[in-house]
Amino acid sequence: MSLVDKILRKVAQLPPFPVVVQRALQLVANPNSSAQDVVDVIQFDQSITADVLRLCNSAYFSLQRKVNSLREALVLIGFNQLFEIILSRQSSHLFSGPSTGYDLQRGELWRHSVASSLLSGIITKRLGRQPSPVLFTAALLHDIGKVVLSEFVKDYFEEIKKLVQEKSVSFSDAEKEVLGIDHAELGGRITEEWKFPKVIVSSVRYHHAPFSTSDPDETVRLTHLCDVVAMLSGIGGGSDGLFYHSPEEILNHYRLNEEDIERFMIQLEDQFGQVKELLNVT
């Protein structure tokens, strides 16, 4: 069996992504569906509903009255926040282990994922765009391929490192050359397997090379930008962060300068402090 086949086999061992959230994601990406349609699907999952209601009634939200249903939660906290909480809480278990191949301690990849998703809100606001649950999802899950690839990167680390140093290619290009697949492509395949909307699959697949795809959706480039800013903020860099592509291209594309990045970092720290307990971020 080839190495790539071995890697792809491991994808099947990932814990399944909740079917109800999969369905909700398809609705979120469909402009003809409403927030209510999404809530109607989710409310059939009792454990997700119970989790959301418990949180809505916790000190974190300090709402004036008790929330008894997802419909009430939708009215009180709004669709975007409701969706973000559900998606983040349903994804955290995927990132719970250490990613030793990338030199990331337990929890660090999750921290990087949450930082990227929070940055999606911060950055879209700065760019004068509407917050997007689709971008939030792509940013949160962009490195899902690392969860599977980590153990293989660990086994072939010296070879990958040598290639990066001698040929000065990026870490993900070296992954591809040594392992036959890189974590971005693998993430694309994983999200495809989960039947995620096409735009999320592309955003995950091209999060290191957003200008090399013909997909015109801006989400692809914005996902890369969120990842770049998270890396520049020093969150979850790991070993591949040391050999990241130059961030200039994407920063110039959106006309962002150093001051913008500094402001993003301050806002990120602030938001991180608020969601830490909610999302189990250490």
Residues that bind Fe ion (CB under 5 A): 143, 227
Nearest distance from residue 174's CB to Fe ion, in Å?
Answer: 13
Q: Please say which residue, 79 or 95, places its beta carbon nearer to Fe ion.
A: 95
Nearest distance from residue 182's CB to Fe ion, in Å?
Answer: 8
Q: Are 261 and 229 in contact (CB under 8 A)?
A: yes
Q: Please say which residue, 14 or 53, places its beta carbon nearer to Fe ion.
A: 14
Nearest distance from residue 132's CB to Fe ion, in Å?
Answer: 18
Q: Please say which residue, 41 or 140, places its beta carbon nearer to Fe ion.
A: 140
Short-list 17, 39, 5, CA closest to 201: 17
Q: Please say which residue, 84 or 227, places its beta carbon nearer to Fe ion.
A: 227
266 CB neighbour count, 10 Å cutoff: 11
What span, in angstroms and rounded, lies between the C-alpha atoms of 184 and 38?
A: 28
Nearest distance from residue 148's CB to Fe ion, in Å?
Answer: 13
Query: Which two tokens mark 243?
Result: 């050999």
Nearest distance from residue 261's CB to Fe ion, in Å?
Answer: 16
What span, in angstroms and rounded, lies between the C-alpha atoms of 184 and 145?
A: 6
What span, in angstroms and rounded, lies between the C-alpha atoms of 17 and 110?
A: 16
What span, in angstroms and rounded, lies between the C-alpha atoms of 167 and 182?
A: 17
Q: Are 180 and 174 in contact (CB under 8 A)?
A: no
Q: Name 278's Cβ contacts closer than 8 Å, sequence gap at least 6.
A: 55, 60, 85
Q: Please say which residue, 103 or 143, places its beta carbon nearer to Fe ion.
A: 143
> What DSSP state is assigned to residue 100?
G
Phi-psi region of 80 (alpha: psi -120 to 50; beta: other; left: phi over 0): alpha
What span, in angstroms and rounded, lies between the C-alpha atoms of 217 and 150?
A: 29
Nearest distance from residue 207's CB to Fe ion, in Å?
Answer: 6
Nearest distance from residue 95's CB to Fe ion, in Å?
Answer: 12
Q: Please say which residue, 84 or 143, places its beta carbon nearer to Fe ion.
A: 143
Q: Please say which residue, 29 or 140, places its beta carbon nearer to Fe ion.
A: 140
